[in-house]
Structure 1
Amino acid sequence: MALLSLNNIEVAYDQVFLAVRGVSIEVPERGLVALLGANGAGKSTVLKSISGLLKPERGAVNRGEITFDGRSILAIDPPDRVRLGIVHVLEGRRVFGHLTPRENLIAAATMHRDRGHVSALIDRMFQTFPRLAERAKAKAGYLSGGEQQMLAIARALMTEPRLLMLDEPSLGLAPFLVDEIFDIIRAINERDGVAVLLVEQNATAALEIAHSGYLIENGRILMGGTADVLRSNPDVADAYLGGHQKVDYHAVKHYRRRKRWLA
């Protein structure tokens, strides 16, 4: 049984704009799944439907079902979804800039009552992200983009999740930092057994670490399969696998699927 399952969900904003149409995806226990697509394809909306963050943006799941560990979660509030083991790292990092890395981590540990356990978790985060240990006394707002992304992931891991959802972790980062961030994501999945749902435009980097993936366009899932299957598809290669240094995202944004994708 899948840890996370979306069955034919439909998401609308303001009860008018249909952003996601009939999306069905699964994330296995300890799996690492990539959700690929261009800007505006519906990737972030899918994540927010899982974490429960649609309501502040006047969005709602109008149809379909989302289950986590066999339990429907649509009626569960976002804080309780975190307690179930679902955590969402939003696009843009959104760390608390006026706090230090340690204080950011402490702020995410309110669900833990044992101070000793919180201290052990912080030590584990600093071991996983040595750069944060080096900048432990700096204000998070003065960290580099890569360091802020590491902090955002570490802060999410303070909740000890079973499912880690990441929205565009490579956005705005230099290629060598992208490699470092993705190596850390793979290590978290393999070492700690945390399932990962990774939303990315950088399909090249995502498919290097993912076990499987889905391609979404205009709110619909067009293709799904193992990472090898997606990499070997010529249309995916032409549109998305130009490499993080060569890909023209403007062209990707306006790409339209070819007929053989429907075959």
Structure 2
Amino acid sequence: MSLLALNNVEVVYDQVFLAVKGISIDVPEGGLVALLGANGAGKSTVLKTVSGLLKPERGAVTRGDVTFNGEDILKIDAPERVRKGIVHCLEGRRVFGHLTPAENLIAATSMHNDRARVRDLMERMFDLFPRLRDRAKAKAGYLSGGEQQMLAIARALMTEPKLIMLDEPSLGLAPYLVDEIFDIIRRINTEQKVAVLLVEQNAAAALDVAHTAYLIENGRVVMNGTAEVLRANPDVQDAYLGGVAKVDYHAVKHYRRRKRWLA
């Protein structure tokens, strides 16, 4: 069953720039869906369309509809979307550097009136992210990049979402931390039954955990399917997975491979 559905959505910034051009995306209940593509393709705009964060950036949906649990959410403001079960981890972590990890987690619980429930949620987060328990009294601004990313995800999970959207969770992390973060994303999806919509430029890591994926170029979906199908596609391999064959650029005067999805 579909949890989140975008149908033929267009997004315009400043009433001029068309950033998203008729995108349709489906996230099933308990699904893990990846959005792949280069910088500026429109991936982050898709997430902001769902979470309701377009308006501060002078963006607006000019066409199409977005439904969550079968309900049209475009007219609902961002805080209400959180209460309905949508949470968005922005690119760059955005933790409160002057607060401790525990205080960061508490800051996300304004919707919960039961203090015992908040304490239980915090314990669950510290069990999921043991490093945060060890650094619970440190200022978040002094945590490592990986620890801050864990804190951002844990803070989002404090809202008990049905869908968590992650924007470039591996950005700026060492390879061993990337593996750890993606293992956590897989556990969130399988153990806590939270659907995940993942924006990621590290296509290899994203396709390792995702069930399905969409490839976005210039604001349009140019390919979608299971992770296995996209991983096996030679154009995806050449453009995003390091290539499948070496090209002798000295043997040709001009080399330009036309991507099949643009043919």
Shorter chain as normaliser: what TM range? over 0.9
* CA 1:12–1:257: 2 relative to 1, 3 Å: farther
Letter in 1 for 2:125: M
2 CA distance for matches of 1:49 and 1:63? 12
By how many angstroms is 1:170 displaced? 0.3
Aligned to 2:231: 231
* CA 1:225–1:58: 2 relative to 1, 3 Å: same
Runs of 4+ in 1 over 3 A off after TM superposition: none
The answer to whether the 8 Å contact 1:235/1:258 transfers is no
1:108-147 alignment to 2 at 5 Å?
108-147=108-147
Q: Does residue 40 of structure 1 match 2:31?
A: no
By how many angstroms is 1:50 displaced? 0.3
Unaligned runs of 5+ in 2: 244-255
1:145-164 alignment to 2 at 5 Å?
145-164=145-164
Q: Write the deviation string for residues 59-80 of structure 1: whole angstroms up to 9, x where unpaired.
A: 0000000000000000000000
Aligned to 1:57: 57
The answer to whether the 8 Å contact 2:235/2:259 transfers is no
Identity of aligned residues (%): 78
Query: Tell me, what secondary structure is at the counterpart of 1:98?
Result: coil
Aligned to 1:205: 205
**TM-score when normalising by structure 1:** 0.94
By how many angstroms is 1:257 displaced? 8.1
2 CA distance for matches of 1:113 and 1:257? 58
Q: Write the deviation string for residues 124-153 of structure 1: whole angstroms up to 9, x where unpaired.
A: 000000000000000000000000000000
**TM-score when normalising by structure 2:** 0.94
2 CA distance for matches of 1:233 and 1:262? 14
1 CA distance for matches of 2:215 and 2:259? 15
By how many angstroms is 1:258 displaced? 2.8
Aligned to 2:92: 92
2 CA distance for matches of 1:112 and 1:13? 35
Aligned to 2:106: 106
Q: Does residue 4 of structure 1 match 2:10?
A: no
The answer to whether the 8 Å contact 1:5/1:25 transfers is yes
By how many angstroms is 1:262 displaced? 4.4
Aligned to 1:27: 27
Letter in 1 for 2:214: Y
Query: Tell me, what secondary structure is at the counterpart of 1:242?
Result: coil
Largest Rg, 1 or 2: 2
The size of the alignment, in residue pairs, is 251
By how many angstroms is 1:88 displaced? 0.1
* CA 1:4–1:51: 2 relative to 1, 3 Å: same
Aligned to 2:247: none
2 CA distance for matches of 1:228 and 1:186? 16
1:162-173 alignment to 2 at 5 Å?
162-173=162-173
* CA 1:58–1:257: 2 relative to 1, 3 Å: farther
By how many angstroms is 1:212 displaced? 0.4
2 CA distance for matches of 1:259 and 1:236? 9
